[in-house]
């Protein structure tokens, strides 16, 4: 039975995430040092003492979450748990690309630092006196119905198809306020704002996409040595050139997570480990396929439990 690592993305962060791995593993401590040098700030200090607000800023969060994702993968590898494939949710796709050998460890931290800075800049340009652009999860309404309602609202876009009953929208402050009112009127039980700082995976990020594609030209993208899956296409990435192009498209494209999960199961993966902070991806997989074995593996205790299986 092949195991696939799933890497969470922005919004999964929490204070002191990854510190138990840092304390237990010299290999993880080396990753922390490499990330600090590549990003130009002390990642251990922020992770060990930072508040939830400190960790939510996009220009820092993307480095920190990628670091904890890769730290979890390293801790699993130390215990002999090597994946047969990998996939990542939004930002998590960069940890997947690194694990698959498409980008190196040091370059991946520089890539996500640039990505975070450009996305933060593009988001702040959309701030208004009425509020900041944001993302929100629509719960308790079929995803197809939620998408249909949202499609007619100015400044609102489908960003993530997370599960059959959970859709995530990106939008301007005014647009999301209108969306919340209409969706609740249509029966949505909750409209939950996410722990992010911008309207990611939507056309509102077009300025960031163009600048990011230009920046990516300075990095090497190798062909995958391990199957790695794309949020944009929901299928495996065939080459380094395709991976580079998809990185740019991903900034403005919806995350097709339901399609990606389905493809992973179809391709023969029978076991999934969520390598990184939180348990969001485990919950989403169980919502779609409760028969599939998917477990969190971002904390030391969870990784030890995976080793003991």
Strand 166-171 and strand 269-274: the pairing is: unpaired
Strand 190-193 and strand 134-139: the pairing is: antiparallel
Q: Catalytic annotation on 90?
A: yes
Of the candidates 36, 71, 90, 163, the residue annotated as catalytic is: 90
Of the candidates 36, 201, 202, 230, the residue annotated as catalytic is: 201
What residue has token string 């919340």? 180
Burial readout 106-142 (b: 16 or more C-beta within 10 A, e: otherwise): eebbbbbbbbbbbbbebbeebeeeeeebbbbbbbebe
- Residues marked as catalytic: 90, 201
């Amino acid at each position: 039975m092949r195991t696939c690592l799933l890497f969470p993305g922005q919004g999964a962060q929490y204070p002191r995430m990854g510190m138990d791995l840092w304390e237990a593993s010299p290999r993880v401590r080396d990753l922390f040092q490499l990330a600090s040098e590549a990003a130009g700030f002390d990642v251990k200090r922020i992770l060990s003492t930072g508040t939830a607000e400190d960790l939510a800023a996009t220009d820092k969060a993307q480095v920190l979450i990628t670091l904890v994702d890769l730290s979890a993968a390293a801790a699993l590898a130390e215990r002999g748990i090597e994946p047969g494939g990998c996939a990542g949710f939004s930002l998590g796709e960069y940890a997947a690309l690194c694990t698959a050998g498409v980008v190196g460890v040091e370059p991946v931290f520089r890539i996500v630092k640039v990505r975070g800075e450009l996305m933060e800049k593009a988001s702040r340009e959309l701030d208004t006196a009425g509020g900041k652009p944001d993302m929100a999860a629509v719960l308790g309404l079929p995803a197809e119905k939620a998408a249909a309602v949202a499609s007619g609202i100015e400044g609102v876009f489908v960003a993530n198809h997370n599960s059959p009953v959970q859709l995530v929208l990106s939008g301007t402050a005014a647009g999301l306020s209108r969306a919340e009112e209409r969706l609740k009127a249509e029966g949505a039980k909750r409209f939950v704002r996410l722990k992010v700082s911008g309207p990611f995976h939507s056309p509102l990020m077009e300025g960031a996409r163009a600048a990011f594609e230009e920046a990516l030209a300075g990095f090497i993208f190798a062909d995958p040595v391990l199957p790695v899956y794309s949020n944009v296409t929901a299928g495996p990435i065939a080459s380094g050139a395709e991976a580079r192009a998809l990185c740019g498209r991903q900034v403005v494209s919806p995350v097709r997570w339901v399609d990606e999960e389905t493809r992973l199961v179809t391709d023969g993966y029978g076991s999934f480990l969520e390598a990184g902070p939180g348990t969001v991806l485990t919950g989403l997989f169980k919502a779609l396929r409760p028969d599939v074995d998917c477990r969190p593996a971002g904390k030391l205790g969870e990784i030890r439990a995976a080793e003991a299986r």
